[in-house]
Structure 1
Amino acid sequence: MSLLEISRADSPLVLGLPHTGTDIPADCAAGLNDTGRAIADTDWHIHELYAGLVEATTVRTLVHRYVIDANRDPTGVSLYPGQNTTGLCPLTDFDGQPIYHPGQEPDAAEIERRRATYHAPYHAALVAELARVKAIHGFAILYDCHSIRSQIPFLFDGTLPDFNIGTNNGETCDPAIERATYDICQAASGYTSILNGRFKGGWTTRHYGQPGQGVHAIQMELAQSTYMQESPDWPYDSAKARALRPHLKTILNTLTAWRPQ
């Protein structure tokens, strides 16, 4: 089974795609119940939505987040203490429902095997690509691509804004990158946006975003209602996507053109 898709470009921008994969190796799938096998919590179609918008490197894992979540701290520490969330090897879906048959959840040894087999290679690839483009430009920008259903009561109240920008309260990138991205989202007619709301950036954004070291990171969590239907079989909505993609292209082009002051 192929684990990664990497497409290289020479711009300073690297797109991370940790949750679009749908592959579940047979040994990991064996313990999943019907809820787990439904893989509802995929960042559906995100790689298609962003395809061709800008010259940028992309790093995508093909393995589903139910195997191991590539956007979680590999030590298992929660990103959102005190709030409902899912872990490094999720045991429930986003609605709080178990995804394994009782007694077949991964134990500590299995979690470590999955971390080494699936989580570590994805991040090794990100490290390599960020270092490569930083060597060219003197800096790198990681744009972490995500999406989620717009209504999930287990995780958040009400309806999620369309654009959810996360910079861990401004810590993971230059303020000009944060402001430019947020301004574009706020100017997008017919869409709603928020900065560092429910989603402040996952482990990837927080781990790699070190502006003082020349690596900037920002997470974009899109409400799935902006480009697809939020019900099985989770179909891509081409008309919605055509309306959304120009705004995403503006963001990515702006980040590609950004230079440190």
Structure 2
Amino acid sequence: MDRTLSFFCTVSVLLFISPSNSQSTFNCSRASYYGSLDCPASYRGACGYTDLGLQINGGDVAAVHRLYRGGTGCGACYLVRCTYPQICNTDGVNVVATDFGVGDNTDFILSARSFAKLAQPNMASQLLAYGVVDIEYRRISCQYPGSNMLVKIKEHSDYPNYLAIIVLYRAGQKDIVDAEIWQEDCKAWRKMRKPYGDVWDMENPPKGPLTIRCLTSGDDGQKWVQLSGVIPSNWQAGVTYDTLVQLD
């Protein structure tokens, strides 16, 4: 299987979020929205997903506040439900955190598309008029049937002197809290830096195919996940590589 994929292939991968193995209790908060149904907001995003942050999960995405956790919360999936029974449905919407945002005592700033999905049939315009609503939410597992994790080389990387990566399509409820690259000539792991969001980088990375390991953290503790030879020796900025593995 060819590890190299274009960025346009990555955005075509559908995100499926399942409530299995999720938190059993809901937390109370508030949510607002950005953009509009007709004209989505321009996007940069604190997590580092760039334009993918508008397309992942079919556009059902959110900026989060306390849940951002210095970028560790990027990529986490949540079930969000509005608590106004006269106008909100009981299903809510499943969203993925792709940005940081602070609102009016809100934990979530949803895309307009996602906010509208909180409403009962034919009541989206009335709900959007509220601007901010009371919600309940819980973290749920992300599921990517048939898809492995992908490592994208950030566009501002500079071969061979500077490498910045982001790990996309992580299943389950695992956070990545550390990342290292194996340096073969020294027989040692070199720690990567986390400059912002979900991005990991390194000045003067090792030569040759690069093996990365990520420290994941979840309810069952912490575990290193090794991605052997995932980045080729002639890596290129903007290119996405298939890890051939997926989180449990």
- Shared fold per TM-score greater than 0.5: no
Between Structure 1 and Structure 2, which shows a larger proportion of strand residues?
2
Normalising by structure 1, we get a TM-score of 0.28
- The structure carrying a bigger helix percent of its residues is 1
Q: Which has the larger radius of gyration?
A: 2
